[in-house]
Amino acid sequence: MRIIYDKKDKIAYITINRPEAMNALDATGWQELIAAIEDFRQDDRSWVLIITGTGDKAFSVGIDLKSLAPSLTSGKTKQAAPTVWFKDIFKPIIAAVNGFCFGGAMEVVLGTDIRIAAENAVFSQREPSWGIMPSGGCPSRLARQISWCHAMEMLLVAGEITAQEAYRMGLVNRVVPLNQLMPTAESIARRICENGPLAVRAAKEAAIRSLSMPLDQALVLEFFMAERSFATEDAKEGPRAFAEKRKPRFQGA
């Protein structure tokens, strides 16, 4: 299996599992990844997703150039991956980046919400060095998430940046020792799971949708989404638990 997909309590895990090829993904791997993402989208029992790679050398070096590039450049085959990773998934997604994160893997990471990098993480948008345009959301997302000049350097130079450089430019939230990578990601996931899931999803959805709106329209959207959130059972449970001095028991309803 190129993708290991697990669930534990309210947390789902996607692990890219092709260590003999630095977790590069061929057509089968991309399809397994897409299927796992779709399952997470539809499973109401999974509140948070963590995505990582097997081993300590690579999160993933992106597409398997030997197997996929010929079909993609032939003009006869459409891209194997979706145009934009994690589009319209409003549940939180955490990336735990171990080692190399190149090309298509960078595009996967750009679709996540919270990113933890191991100290050995290295990021690069490598496609231009092979004469291929980056796609899968990178040109669209990168300059929205970090400064224009940093985004252009990554896209045009196709060089490598370290975990600490990625932290300084705001590409990742934290840099931790490799042995603390998954414990840190899981700690954040568990903390999110203590919150009301509907409130968390509404907050993420409002943030994403407001990016394409003028501020006054975004505020109107936020108001209506909050009004809908206030009508849920979880919104009643939270204040009730506060008054009773206990932890809330959220049901996602």
Asked if the domains at 3-193 and 197-243 fall in one CATH topology, the answer is: no
Given 32, 119, 127, 165, the catalytic residue: 127
Looking at every residue in the chain, the average pLDDT score rounds to 91
Distance in angstroms (rounded) separating the CA atoms of residues 69 and 134: 13
What is the fold of 197-243? Lyase 2-enoyl-coa Hydratase; Chain  A, domain 2 (1.10.12)
Q: Is 153 a catalytic residue?
A: no
Domain ranges of the chain: 3-193, 197-243
Given 32, 107, 119, 233, the catalytic residue: 107
Q: Quick one: pLDDT at residue 68? A: 63
Q: In the predicted model, is pLDDT for residue 245 greater than 60?
A: yes
Mapped to the 3 state alphabet, what secondary structure does the chain carry?
Answer: CCEEEEEECCEEEEEECCHHHCCCECHHHHHHHHHHHHHHHHCCCCCEEEEEECCCCEEECCECHHHHHHHHHCCCCCCCCCCCCCCCCCCCEEEEECCEEECHHHHHHHCCCEEEEECCCEEECCHHHHCCCCCCCHHHHHHHHCCHHHHHHHHHHCCCEEHHHHHHCCCCCEEECHHHHHHHHHHHHHHHHCCCHHHHHHHHHHHHHHCCCCHHHHHHHHHHHHHHHHCCHHHHHHHHHHHCCCCCCCCCC
Q: Quick one: pLDDT at residue 81? A: 46
Q: In the predicted model, is pLDDT for residue 8 greater than 50?
A: yes
Distance in angstroms (rounded) separating the CA atoms of residues 29 and 42: 20
Q: Quick one: pLDDT at residue 66? A: 72
Q: What is the mean pLDDT of residues 151-159?
A: 93
Q: Quick one: pLDDT at residue 224? A: 92
Q: Quick one: pLDDT at residue 80? A: 44
Nearest to residue 54, comparing CAs of 88, 123, 6, 124?
6
What is the token pair recorded at 114?
């919270």
Nearest to residue 37, comparing CAs of 4, 14, 15, 61?
14
Q: Quick one: pLDDT at residue 70? A: 61
Distance in angstroms (rounded) separating the CA atoms of residues 189 and 192: 5
Q: What is the mean pLDDT of residues 238-251?
A: 92
Compute the Cα dihedral for 199, 201, 207, 210 and give only its sign. negative
Residue range 64-118, pLDDT digits in tens: 877 666 666 655 555 544 457 888 899 999 999 999 999 889 999 999 999 999 9
Beta bridge partners of residue 49, listed in sequence order:
12, 93
What is the fold of 3-193? 2-enoyl-CoA Hydratase; Chain A, domain 1 (3.90.226)
Distance in angstroms (rounded) separating the CA atoms of residues 92 and 54: 21
Nearest to residue 105, comparing CAs of 13, 184, 14?
14
Q: How many CB atoms lie within 10 A of CB 154?
A: 26
Q: What is the mean pLDDT of residues 230-243?
A: 92
Q: In the predicted model, is pLDDT for residue 173 greater than 70?
A: yes
57, 19 contact by CB (below 8 A): yes
More confident residue, 174 or 135: 174
Q: What is the mean pLDDT of residues 8-30?
A: 94
More confident residue, 15 or 66: 15
Q: Quick one: pLDDT at residue 69? A: 60
Radius of gyration in angstroms for the set of CA atoms belonging to the chain, rounded to a whole number? 19
